[in-house]
Amino acid sequence: MTASLAIRYTALAMAVDKELLEILACPICKEPVDLVALSEGRRTEVRDKYREKFRGEEPVVDEGLRCRKCGRIYPVVSDIPVMLVDEAFEEG
């Protein structure tokens, strides 16, 4: 593996910090959230939605944060949890 691939792989492998995950809560229910993998279709949909905001960089979308109570999922875009009610969805 070349150095540039190793750096890119490491960047992609990063996830939501465990300490941050412990304090994040659903903005509606105020319940804890869990990190979940998103389906390929949902990843593509979220990536396309955020692409223009990243100006030349491709947003990385693999996971979301699912509320334990209501089941809403908040996307994680390039390691940034998007905890906005209007951005939440239900994985079908």
Global pTM reads 0.80
Within a 10 A sphere around the Cβ of 27, how many other Cβ atoms? 13
Within a 10 A sphere around the Cβ of 46, how many other Cβ atoms? 22
Bridging pattern class, strands 73-77 and 80-81: antiparallel
Per-residue pLDDT at 52 exceeds 80: yes
pLDDT at 12: 45
Adjacency order of strands within the sheet including 33-37: 33-37, 61-67, 73-77, 80-81
The pair of three-digit structure tokens given for residue 45, joined into one six-digit string = 């949909």
Could you tell me which of 8, 32, 7, 13 has the C-alpha nearest to residue 79? 13
For residues 68 and 6, the model is more confident at: 68
Mean pLDDT of the chain: 85
Residue 77 and residue 92: Cα distance in Å, rounded?
A: 19
- The residue ranges of every structural domain in the chain are 15-87
pLDDT at 2: 39
